[in-house]
Structure 1
Amino acid sequence: MKEKIYTIPVTDAFRIDSECPMCVLEQKLEDEYIEYYLGPSLMEPDHRIETNDKGFCAKHFELLYNKQENRLGLGLIIDTHLCEQNEKLKKLFGDSIKSSGKKTRASIFRKISEKVTSKESNKETDPVDKIISELENLEKKCTVCGRLDYTMDRYIDVILYLWFKEEDFKNLFNSKKGFCLKHLKSLLKGTKKYLNSRERAVFTENLLKIQMENMDRIQKEVNWFTKKFDYRYNNEPWGNSRDALPRSIQKIVGPCRLK
């Protein structure tokens, strides 16, 4: 199989023994992005604009902090992110709100409450709805998640291309232990985006056959794990079940960093 620069990460991930090669891909990407946002991105205005607007989800804030590298850089990211978000929220709350004025805050929210209960209130202009909408939008945003989603979609395109064009990769793919349910869904969605109807039928049949075989396998391994706590099975070999718990969790939910 001829390697190209955009196929190397995919083939490398598929050569690793795992419950889901795409989890291997995603976690490697995630680690690279965490390193990047704590380092080079700090000096790139375009990326600072993005982090100011989107920030990070709880998971990726946790990874950034727990990395314990360049805490000053993380502080700068959070500082400018809060500055931008605070400005947006102040406009929604009203220009007269002062962060230290309890009386002012009470007055503003009393006015908001009166507007909400007013018969003339309009849902489109309801200040509470605007605040809720802004907070929900912010909650859905994450700079790292956005980049992961984009790059993983590109990798799905590569996987499907290689499966049909490279016999060596097809054999490698078919020899794996299937995928986590998250990435199974991603692959199935990818077939609708990147394959024609004939290709989709062929690939999906093959994929689901592999997946069901390995879902049955992991369930049996977990079942044997539980039986090993029964004294009647003390002298029986563990087989592949000793680490069945973390592998089964990954199979169900996708990339996770279990300790």
Structure 2
Amino acid sequence: MRENIATIPLIDAFKADGECPFCHLEREAEQHAISFILGSAYMEDDIREKTDATGFCRHHFKMMYDYGNRLGNALILSTHLKKLNAELTKEMKDFSPGKSSFLKRMRKTDATDPKLPETQLGSWISQKVNSCYVCDHFRSIYGRYLDTFFDLYLKNEEFRQMFENSKGFCLPHFGDLIETAENKLNDAQKKDFYAIAFPLMQENMERLQKEVSWFVEKNDYRNKDKDWGTSADSIQRGMQKCAGGFPADETFKVKL
């Protein structure tokens, strides 16, 4: 298979033979972004301007803290907080409470109901807590990986075989793949693709179910002398299949 700068990361991700090649790509991208901003990049004005404006999500703030470089984290956070506080002050100054009503006051709060914010301040906060420099880094290249997947699937028989022999995908990335297929493929190509992708996902989801079930049974004293098979690490792989990511990864830290 002839590889180039656009295809190498995706092909390498499939060669890794994990539960989801797109999880592999996502991990590589976020570790690269963390290493970049907490390397020397946090001293560059253009990078700090971006991190000040965008901020980070809860998950990547934790990754940054665990990574190390406390001074780098402090410098990034200090100017981000300065910008955040200036914006918050303006938003609160401009805030105008909505009119109250008896029905509103009597309505029970349902924290599980995903509704849009009703206030300008609530909208601003929602935008800020869902904005992340590291997430944006992966999103900026994720679409290209999805497009490359289908380009290779349609044109390269060797890659197609890699896909057919893979372990499928995690559910979140599988969903993105299906949505992309609807836009990238014609009707005949969709029929062909789904005929491969759906059985592949079903087979591998059922495989993990069996592995996790055997993990449970293996903990029965009656099975203590039986072989673990492939179930010993099935918990983390099952979690990845359901929600993406790598639950069992060691903490990503700066190399000293």
- Same fold? TM cut 0.5: yes
Contact 2:9–2:25 (CA<8 Å) still a contact in 1? yes
**Is residue 138 of structure 2 the alignment partner of residue 148 of structure 1?**
yes
Give matches, 1:122-201, under 5 Å: 129-201=119-191
Distance in 2 of aligned mates of 1:198 and 1:48: 48
Gaps of 5+ in 1: 96-108, 119-127
Match of residue 101 from structure 1: none
Give the deviation of 1:232 after TM superposition: 2.1
Task: Please name the residue that 1:208 is paired with.
Answer: 198
* Alignment partner, residue 32 of structure 1: 32
Q: Relative to structure 2, which stretch is displaced further, 147-156 or 5-14? A: 147-156
Query: In angstroms, what is the RMSD of aligned CA positions?
Result: 2.1
Structure 1 residues 54 and 251 mapped into 2: Cα distance closer, same or farther (>3 Å)? Answer: same
Equivalent positions of 1:66-77 (< 5 A) are: 66-69=66-69, 71-77=70-76
Confirm or deny: 8 A CA contact 2:236 2:247 kept in the other structure: no
- Distance in 2 (CA, whole Å) between partners of 1:171 and 1:38 is 39
Q: Percent identity?
A: 38
Give the conservation status (yes or no) of the 8 Å contact 2:57–2:132. yes
Q: Name structure 2 gaps, 5 residues minimum.
A: 102-117, 251-256
Q: Secondary structure at 1:94's aligned position in 2?
A: helix
- Quickly say closer, same or farther: Cα 1:36–1:217, change in 2 above 3 A: same
User: Could you list the per-position Cα deviations for residues 147-189 of structure 1 after superposition, in whole angstroms to 9, with x for gaps in the alignment?
Assistant: 2122111111111111111111111111111111011011111
Q: Distance in 2 between matches of 1:92 and 1:234?
A: 62
How far is the alpha carbon of 1:40 from its aligned partner? 4.5
Write out aligned runs for 1:1-259 (5 A).
1-69=1-69, 71-94=70-93, 116-117=99-100, 129-258=119-248
Q: Structure 1 length as normaliser, TM-score?
A: 0.84
Moved more, 1-10 or 142-151: 142-151
2:239–2:247: 8 Å Cα contact kept in structure 1? no
Which residue identity is paired with 2:222? R
User: Distance in 2 between the 1:160 and 1:32 partners?
Assistant: 25
Q: How far apart are the structure 2 equivalents of 1:45 and 1:153?
A: 28
**Structure 1 CA distance, aligned partners of 2:89 and 2:32?**
35
Which residue type is aligned with residue 83 of structure 2? E
Which of structures 1 and 2 has the bigger CA Rg?
1
> Higher relative contact order at CA 8 Å, sep ≥6: structure 1 or structure 2?
2
Three-state SS of the structure 1 residue aligned to 2:68 is coil
TM-score normalised to structure 2 length = 0.85
Local SS of the residue matching 1:179: coil
